[in-house]
């Protein structure tokens, strides 16, 4: 691990890859909409049904890569999750397993070319990723964040940290935005770290100089 500009840790990974951080594991999968992505044995019946309803090659490839990352993260923690049914919180959309006897927390994120899954047996987790070359309006995001941001890079770091924390808590972004279209607190990330007792505060890394990835656990 090395330090890149803005003191951001940088990882050079040969994908797919798996990282272990104590009780937390993170799986990374590479994908492309122009390549075939075999379903493999890690897709259960519900996932195969959901995949059959996806019409675009991009959506199908993204979905399979996300489930592959979940499968590898589960195996690393000693679970075969392929037969487990995933349900989604009606309000926030947070995914979880519909099984009371399984203590397994996870969060999946995608961007074009990369899917990631963070998982743990004993703590809540959240993650988010974006491409560094994603188009973003710096002025608009600075207004939303409630403070001046100086570069697209800074905006993407802030955005992925925010998304990771919201996913950890099982919230909706709209719940944190006031009528003016701004976050209720410009220090949302910092104050939420204290409020929820985050054991791993939002950490952001540069993946292969192509992707920004943020994760947290609490």
d(CA 145, CA 118): 25
pLDDT in tens, 106-120: 999 999 999 999 999
Q: Answer yes or no: is 210 within a domain.
A: yes
Where residue 98 falls among pLDDT bands split at 50, 70, 90?
confident
The count of structural domains within the chain is: 1
Residue 2 inside a domain? The answer is no
177 three-class SS:
strand
The reply to whether 63 falls in a domain is yes
Residue 140 lies in a domain: yes
pLDDT at 5 over 50: no
Is residue 1 a part of any domain in this protein?
no
* Residue pLDDT, tens place only, 120-175: 998 999 999 999 999 999 999 999 998 899 999 999 999 999 999 999 998 888 88
* Run of H or E residues at 204: strand 200-207
Q: What is the pTM of this model?
A: 0.88
Task: Dig out the tokens for 71 from the structure.
Answer: 């499968």
In a domain, 209, yes or no: yes
The pLDDT mean for the chain works out to 86
Q: Is the pLDDT of residue 70 over 70?
A: yes
Predicted confidence (pLDDT) at residue 4 exceeds the cutoff of 50: no
Question: Scanning the structure block, which residue is given the tokens 């570069």?
Answer: 151
Overall residue count recorded for the chain in this entry: 218
DSSP-derived 3-state class of residue 156: helix
Does 3 reside within a domain?
no
Q: What percent of the chain has pLDDT over 90?
A: 53
Residue 87 β-bridge partners: 96
Give a yes or no: residue 78 inside a domain. yes
Domain that holds residue 72: 8-217
Query: What DSSP string describes 14-65?
Result: -SSEEEEETTEEEEEEE--TTS----GGG--HHHHHHHHT--SHHHHHHHHH
Question: By C-alpha distance, which of 34, 12, 30, 25 is closest to 110?
Answer: 30
**pLDDT above 60 (res 188):** no
């Amino acid at each position: 691990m090395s330090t890149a500009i803005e003191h951001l840790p940088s990882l050079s990974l040969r994908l797919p890859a798996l990282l272990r951080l104590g009780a937390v594991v993170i799986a990374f999968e590479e994908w492309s909409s122009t390549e075939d992505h075999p379903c493999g044995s890690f897709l259960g019946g519900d996932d195969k049904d959901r995949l059959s309803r996806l019409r675009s090659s991009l959506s199908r490839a993204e979905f399979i890569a996300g489930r592959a990352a979940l499968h590898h993260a589960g195996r690393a923690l000693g679970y075969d999750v392929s037969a487990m049914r995933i349900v989604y919180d009606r309000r926030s959309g947070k995914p979880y397993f519909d099984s009371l006897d399984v203590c397994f927390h996870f969060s999946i994120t995608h961007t074009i070319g990369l899917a990631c899954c963070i998982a743990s047996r004993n703590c809540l987790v959240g993650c988010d990723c974006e491409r560094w070359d994603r188009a973003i309006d710096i002025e608009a995001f600075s207004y939303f964040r409630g403070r001046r941001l100086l570069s697209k890079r800074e905006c993407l770091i802030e955005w992925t940290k925010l998304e990771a924390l919201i996913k950890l808590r099982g919230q909706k972004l709209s719940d944190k935005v006031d009528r003016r279209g701004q976050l209720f607190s410009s220090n949302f990330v910092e104050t939420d770290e204290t409020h929820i007792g985050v054991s791993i505060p939002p950490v952001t890394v540069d993946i292969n100089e192509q992707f920004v990835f943020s994760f947290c656990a609490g």
